[in-house]
Amino acid sequence: MTTLRIAQAGDNFYPKDSYLFQYESTYKFNTVPNTPLKKGQVRVGGALLVDGQFQPLDPYTFAIVGGRGPTAWLVERGHGAGPAQKLLDIQL
C-alpha cells in the first residue's frame, strides 16, 4: 500500500486526518474441481480512504489491473474486511 494523501484541516476533498492509499495485491488460485475456477492469479488495485483509526470512510471496490491464466477475469471487491483478513467475493 502506498500513501497518496493525508488530509489536513481545510482540505477541499477529504475529511481532516483521513488517509488516501493506493492498494495493490495479487491473489493466487488453484483449480477448484467441478467449477469454472482454474489455476491462475489476479492482480487488483484501487484507492482506499480511511479515517485516523484506519476504518474505511467509503465503500471500496478494487479493479482488476492484471492477471495470468483463466482466473484473470474474476472480480475482486473489498467489503470492509479487517487488516488481519481479506474477503474475496468471486463472481463467476
Sorted by where each begins, the domain ranges of the chain are 2-73
- Taking the whole predicted model, whether its pTM rises above 0.85 is answered as no
Check residue 41 and give its pLDDT.
Answer: 81
* pLDDT (0 to 100) of residue 68: 67
Q: How confident is the model at residue 61 (pLDDT cuts 50, 70, 90)?
A: confident
Among 56, 52, 53, 30, smallest CA distance to 41 is for 30
Q: How confident is the model at residue 88 (pLDDT cuts 50, 70, 90)?
A: low
